[in-house]
């Protein structure tokens, strides 16, 4: 059985002499893992399409133990165009959050749309701390790990309600946080994610 969909490359792991197991967050199937055979060979046609953060169209053959990635075509390579180490770290941070918080084979179209939307903002926006904070709150609320209603202080609750529900442009225009406030917010969000996943984040949001 074959299926085709769109997906964002979250993670890669070498397998055997020339293969990779690729973790992809897809539009129609949620998070999946698939074997990309021969992708580490110099002449592989798939290799350039499987960079971390790339938004791709994929074709997958269902396997008994592991799906097989048969074809891949890049729609947008967020991590490649105008590459910089800073931009790569921004992108990898968002990918890590999605990978850490989502189960495999559980479709969530809203998460896929959010990820693509905020990968674009990683490229376009200067204030990555705000991008990361808003993405974090929206993602965790979509997945049921966070709600602004759990905040007891009225002023703070309104702030998190905005992060949870408002468009990024409105949030950016409405709030001007001091560096100290930003660091406190980021520390809180990091702790929340690590408590949920019971693991330490590898990527650093303080860029």
Question: Going from the N-terminus, what domains does the chain have, and what CATH number goes with each?
Answer: 2-77 (2.40.50.140), 85-197 (1.20.1440.120)
- Run of H or E residues at 185: helix 179-197
Q: What is the rounded distance in angstroms from the CA atom of residue 82 to the CA atom of residue 61? A: 33
DSSP 47: G
Which of the four pLDDT bands, split at 50, 70 and 90, describes residue 81? low
Which of the four pLDDT bands, split at 50, 70 and 90, describes residue 2? confident
Quickly list H helices, 23-174.
85-101, 109-124, 128-142, 154-165, 168-174
What pLDDT score does 84 carry? Answer: 72
Flag whether pLDDT at 123 surpasses 90: no
Flag whether pLDDT at 134 surpasses 90: yes
What pLDDT score does 179 carry? Answer: 81
What pLDDT score does 205 carry? Answer: 55
Flag whether pLDDT at 31 surpasses 90: yes
Rounded to the nearest angstrom, the gap between the alpha carbon of residue 53 and the centroid of all alpha carbons in its chain is: 8
Count of other CB atoms within 10 angstroms of residue 173:
10
Residue with tokens 């189960």: 103
Count of other CB atoms within 10 angstroms of residue 10:
24
Q: 7-11, 19-23, 81-85, 131-135: lowest mean pLDDT where?
A: 81-85
CA dihedral 56, 62, 68, 72 (to 10 degrees): -20
Count of other CB atoms within 10 angstroms of residue 149:
10
- The percent of the chain in helix, strand and coil, each rounded to the nearest 5, is 45, 25, 30
Which of the four pLDDT bands, split at 50, 70 and 90, describes residue 207? very low
Inter-residue contact 56 to 34 (CB < 8 Å): no
Flag whether pLDDT at 206 surpasses 60: no
Contacts of 86 (CB under 8 A, 6+ apart): 207
Flag whether pLDDT at 188 surpasses 70: yes
Paired strand residues for 7: 26, 56
């Amino acid at each position: 059985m074959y299926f085709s969909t769109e997906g964002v490359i979250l993670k890669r792991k070498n397998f055997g002499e020339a293969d990779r197991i690729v973790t992809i967050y897809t539009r129609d199937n949620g998070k999946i893992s698939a074997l990309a055979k021969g992708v580490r060979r110099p002449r592989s046609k798939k290799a350039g399409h499987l960079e971390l953060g790339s938004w791709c169209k994929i074709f997958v053959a269902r396997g008994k133990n592991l799906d097989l990635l048969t074809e891949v075509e890049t729609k947008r390579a967020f991590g490649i165009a105008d590459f910089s180490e800073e931009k790569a770290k921004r992108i990898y941070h968002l990918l890590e959050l999605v990978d850490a918080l989502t189960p495999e084979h559980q479709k969530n179209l809203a998460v896929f749309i959010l990820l693509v939307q905020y990968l674009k903002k990683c490229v376009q926006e200067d204030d990555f701390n705000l991008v990361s904070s808003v993405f974090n709150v929206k993602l965790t609320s979509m997945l049921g790990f966070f709600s602004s209603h759990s905040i007891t202080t009225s002023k703070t609750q309104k702030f998190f309600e905005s992060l949870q529900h408002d468009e990024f442009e409105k949030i950016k225009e409405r709030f001007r946080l001091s560096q100290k406030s930003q660091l406190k917010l980021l520390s809180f969000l990091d702790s929340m994610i690590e408590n949920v996943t019971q693991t330490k984040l590898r990527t650093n949001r303080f860029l």
